Structure 1
Amino acid sequence: MAKPCPLEEEFVIHHPSPRRSKRWGLAAVAALALGAPLIATATTPATGAEPTNPTLDLTAPAAVTAYTYGRTIYSDLGFRLEVSGGPLEIRTQRADDYETVPTAVAKLPLGDVALPPQEEVGKLNDFVRIRLVDRNDPDATPWIRRRSSCLGESTERMTPESEFKNPYPSTCFYNSYALGSVQGVPDGWAASIFGYESSGLRVRPGEYDLTVSVTKGYAEALGLSAEQRTASTVLTVVKEGDCRGCRENGTNPRLTPNRTEPDPNGGVDSIADLPEGTPTPDLRSLPAFSIQLNRRGTQLQFAANVWNGGNSPLVVDGFRRSGEDIMDAYQYFLDEDGNQIAYQEVGTMEWDPAPTHEHWHFTDFATYELLNADKTRAVRSGKEAFCLANTDAVDLTGEGADWEGYQEDLGSVCGGYETRSIREVLSAGWGDTYAQFRAGQSFPIKNLADGVYYVRVLANPIGTLIESDTTNNESLRRIRLWTNARGERRVRVAPVGLVDESRGIYYRR
Structure 2
Amino acid sequence: MIHHLSPRRKRWGAALLATAALGVPLVAATTTTPAAGAEPTNPTIDLVAPPSVTAYTYGRAIYSDLGFRLEVNDAPLEIITQRAPDYESLPTAVAKLPLGDVDLPQQKTVGQLHNLLRVTLVDRNDPDAKPVTRKRSTCLGESSERLTPDAEFRNPYPRTCYYNSFALGAVQGIPAGWGASVFGYESGLRVKPGEYDLTVSIARGYADALGLTAEQRSATTVLTVISEDDCRGRGCRDKGTNPRLTPNRQEPDPAGGIDSLADLPPETPVPDLRSLPAFSIQVNGKGTQLQFAANVWNAGNSPLVVDGFRRAGEDVMDAYQYFLDEDGNQVAYQEVGTMIWHDAPSHNHWHFNDFATYELLNADQSHAVRSGKESFCLANTDAVDLTVEGAAWEAWQEDLGSVCGGYEIRSIREVLSSGWGDTYAQFRAGQSFPIKNLPDGIYYVRVLANPDGTLIESDTTNNESLRKIRLFTNKNGERKVKVAKVGVVDENGGIYDEAR
Using the size of structure 1 for normalisation, the TM-score is 0.91
Q: Contact between 1:300 and 1:443, CA under 8 Å: does it hold in 2?
A: yes
**Residues 19 and 114 from structure 1, CA distance in 2 versus in 1: closer, same or farther, beyond 3 angstroms?**
same
Q: For the residues of structure 1 that align with 2:97 and 2:38, how far apart are their CA atoms? A: 16
Which residue matches 2:270? 280
Which residue matches 2:215? 227
- Aligned-partner residue type, residue 249 of structure 1: G
Which residue matches 1:53? 42
Which residue matches 2:206? 218
Pick from 336, 354, 358 the counterpart of residue 368 of structure 1. Answer: 358
Which residue matches 2:239? 248
* Alpha-carbon distance, 1:296 to partner: 1.4
* Alpha-carbon distance, 1:475 to partner: 0.2
Which residue matches 1:238? 226
Which residue matches 2:13? none
**Is 1:502 matched with 2:485?**
no
- Aligned-partner residue type, residue 238 of structure 1: I
Which residue matches 1:437? 427
Q: For the residues of structure 2 that align with 1:283 and 1:412, how far apart are their CA atoms? A: 21
Q: For the residues of structure 1 that align with 2:418 and 2:393, how far apart are their CA atoms? A: 9
**Residues 343 and 152 from structure 1, CA distance in 2 versus in 1: closer, same or farther, beyond 3 angstroms?**
same
Q: What pairs with 1:407-422 in structure 2 (closer than 5 Å)?
A: 407=397, 410=400, 412-422=402-412
**Residues 401 and 53 from structure 1, CA distance in 2 versus in 1: closer, same or farther, beyond 3 angstroms?**
same
> Structure 1: which 4+ aligned runs deviate by more than 3 Å?
16-20, 241-248, 250-254, 407-411
Q: For the residues of structure 1 that align with 2:399 and 2:390, how far apart are their CA atoms? A: 23
Q: Contact between 1:56 and 1:224, CA under 8 Å: does it hold in 2?
A: yes
Which residue matches 1:38? none
Which residue matches 1:205? 193
Q: Contact between 2:273 and 2:460, CA under 8 Å: does it hold in 1?
A: yes
**Is 1:258 matched with 2:227?**
no
Q: Contact between 2:116 and 2:137, CA under 8 Å: does it hold in 1?
A: yes
Q: What pairs with 1:340-489 in structure 2 (closer than 5 Å)?
A: 340-407=330-397, 410=400, 412-489=402-479
Which residue matches 2:308? 318
- Aligned-partner residue type, residue 124 of structure 2: R
Which residue matches 2:80? 91
* Alpha-carbon distance, 1:145 to partner: 1.1
* Alpha-carbon distance, 1:46 to partner: 2.5
Alpha-carbon displacement from aligned partner over 1:158-196 (angstroms, at most 9, x marks no partner): 111111001111222210000000001101000101113
SS where residue 129 of structure 1 aligns?
Answer: strand
**Is 1:337 matched with 2:348?**
no
Q: For the residues of structure 1 that align with 2:33 and 2:64, how far apart are their CA atoms? A: 31
**Residues 298 and 74 from structure 1, CA distance in 2 versus in 1: closer, same or farther, beyond 3 angstroms?**
same
Q: For the residues of structure 2 that align with 1:138 and 1:81, how far apart are their CA atoms? A: 31
- Aligned-partner residue type, residue 229 of structure 1: R
Q: Contact between 2:80 and 2:96, CA under 8 Å: does it hold in 1?
A: yes
Which residue matches 2:18? 7
SS where residue 100 of structure 2 aligns?
Answer: coil
**Is 1:306 matched with 2:296?**
yes
Pick from 147, 157, 167 the counterpart of residue 146 of structure 2. Answer: 157
Q: For the residues of structure 2 that align with 1:178 and 1:147, how far apart are their CA atoms? A: 20
SS where residue 213 of structure 2 aligns?
Answer: coil
Q: For the residues of structure 2 that align with 1:266 and 1:121, how far apart are their CA atoms? A: 42
- Number of aligned residue pairs: give it: 478
Which residue matches 2:480? 490
- Aligned-partner residue type, residue 46 of structure 2: D
Using the size of structure 2 for normalisation, the TM-score is 0.92
**Residues 361 and 497 from structure 1, CA distance in 2 versus in 1: closer, same or farther, beyond 3 angstroms?**
same
SS where residue 337 of structure 2 aligns?
Answer: strand
* Alpha-carbon distance, 1:413 to partner: 3.2
Q: Which runs of 5+ in 1 are unaligned?
A: 21-40
**Residues 409 and 339 from structure 1, CA distance in 2 versus in 1: closer, same or farther, beyond 3 angstroms?**
closer
Q: Which runs of 5+ in 2 are unaligned?
A: 1-15
- Aligned-partner residue type, residue 481 of structure 2: V
* Alpha-carbon distance, 1:453 to partner: 0.5
SS where residue 130 of structure 2 aligns?
Answer: coil
SS where residue 343 of structure 1 aligns?
Answer: strand
Which residue matches 2:123? 134
SS where residue 328 of structure 1 aligns?
Answer: strand
Q: Contact between 2:354 and 2:451, CA under 8 Å: does it hold in 1?
A: yes
Q: Contact between 2:28 and 2:148, CA under 8 Å: does it hold in 1?
A: no
Q: Contact between 2:243 and 2:402, CA under 8 Å: does it hold in 1?
A: no
SS where residue 501 of structure 1 aligns?
Answer: coil
Q: Contact between 2:303 and 2:415, CA under 8 Å: does it hold in 1?
A: yes
Comparing 314-323 and 484-493, the one that deviates more: 484-493
* Alpha-carbon distance, 1:6 to partner: 6.8
Q: For the residues of structure 1 that align with 2:333 and 2:398, how far apart are their CA atoms? A: 27
- Aligned-partner residue type, residue 444 of structure 1: P
Percent identity at matched positions?
74
- Aligned-partner residue type, residue 10 of structure 1: A
Which residue matches 1:118? 107
Alpha-carbon displacement from aligned partner over 1:246-297 (angstroms, at most 9, x marks no partner): 543344675x310110001000000000001000000000000000000111
Question: What RMSD in Å do the two structures reach over aligned CA positions?
Answer: 1.9
Structure number with higher relative contact order (C-alpha < 8 Å, ≥ 6 residues apart): 2
SS where residue 272 of structure 1 aligns?
Answer: helix
- Aligned-partner residue type, residue 55 of structure 2: A
Alpha-carbon displacement from aligned partner over 1:288-334 (angstroms, at most 9, x marks no partner): 00000001111100000000000000000000000100000000000
- Aligned-partner residue type, residue 73 of structure 2: S
SS where residue 220 of structure 1 aligns?
Answer: helix
**Residues 253 and 353 from structure 1, CA distance in 2 versus in 1: closer, same or farther, beyond 3 angstroms?**
closer
- Aligned-partner residue type, residue 418 of structure 1: E
**Residues 252 and 190 from structure 1, CA distance in 2 versus in 1: closer, same or farther, beyond 3 angstroms?**
farther
Which residue matches 1:27? none
Which residue matches 1:80? 69
* Alpha-carbon distance, 1:357 to partner: 0.4
Q: Contact between 1:6 and 1:243, CA under 8 Å: does it hold in 2?
A: no
